[in-house]
Amino acid sequence: MTETHILIIEDEPDLRAGLQHNLELEGFKVLAAANGKEGLRKAREGQAALVLLDLMLPEMSGIEVLQHLRETGHETPVIIISAKGQDRDKVQGLELGADDYLTKPFGLSELLARIRAVLRRTKSGAKAGAGERGAAATVMTFPGLVVDWKRFTVSRDGDEVQLSRYEAEILRMLIEHRGEVVSRQDLLRKVWGYVHLPTTRTVDNHIARLRKKLEADVENPVHVVTVHGLGYRFESELLEER
Ligand code: CA
């Protein structure tokens, strides 16, 4: 079995050392960073299968680390570990594509459960295109757009971009229900599952990110259209699947 590396970005030395020690006892390989800049650099190296990210960090905040990471196409799963009273940052983190969050102080068993759940989700997510659909299509072609479920990519007129896990799940749900309206609440429930968020704005933000990848003109989307007051609808005709 290959070793799973976890990157801890945490400036508090005792907490960092404690997490490292306990995760190593559980058989993980641990990388550690004491500030945001170092953390971002190590996360970009791509060795870590998962990042534990504190929010209040010297040099660069956890939110900035996450933002830079996602903007440069790194989709490594991230669990935010935040102090009490940072709810707004926590929500922002989830909107930026964090996978889960824990509020300090947390117990080791809780942390391990979250880590394993996220690793399981992201692993099955990467295979879901082929897995859930059985022998069904792994590549779908729409006018001006090719979606590759196996590689988690979309190509718009030949330009290929990577989808984040959330973007891929949203797109999959819209495409499965193409021609029908899918509500924000349905997307929240199905895509985010148990991670409860206070607003459906999260969905809108992810749709906006998805549109940047899918649409030639985000102001006039042709694939994912807004149905005002109801939700979103995938409109394009499926030309080919294989
Ligand atoms: Ca801190």
**How far away, in angstroms, is 198 Cα from ligand 1 center?**
25
pTM: 0.60
- Return the exposure string of 81-92: e unless at least 16 CB atoms fall within 10 Å of the residue's CB, then b: bbeeebeebbbb
Domains of the chain: 5-130 (3.40.50.2300), 136-241 (1.10.10.10)
- How many angstroms separate the CA atoms of 33 and 29, rounded? 14
**How far away, in angstroms, is 66 Cα from ligand 1 center?**
15
Q: Which residues contact 168 (CB under 8 A, 6 or more apart)?
A: 125, 128, 129, 149, 152
**How far away, in angstroms, is 108 Cα from ligand 1 center?**
18
Q: pLDDT of 188-237, one tens digit each?
A: 877 876 555 557 788 898 999 999 999 999 999 999 999 998 899 999 99
Q: Which residues surround ligand 1, an ion (CB under 5 A)?
A: 11, 54, 56
**How far away, in angstroms, is 58 Cα from ligand 1 center?**
8
Range with the poorest average pLDDT among 35-44, 132-141, 223-232: 132-141
Q: From edge to edge, which strands make up the β-sheet containing 224-227?
A: 181-183, 231-234, 224-227
Closest among 46, 136, 55, 58 to 149, alpha carbons compared: 136
Amino acid at 185: Q
Q: What are phi and psi of 211, to 5 degrees?
A: -65, -35
CA 124 to chain centroid, in Å, comes to: 13
Average pLDDT taken over every residue of the chain: 86
pLDDT of 193 reads 67
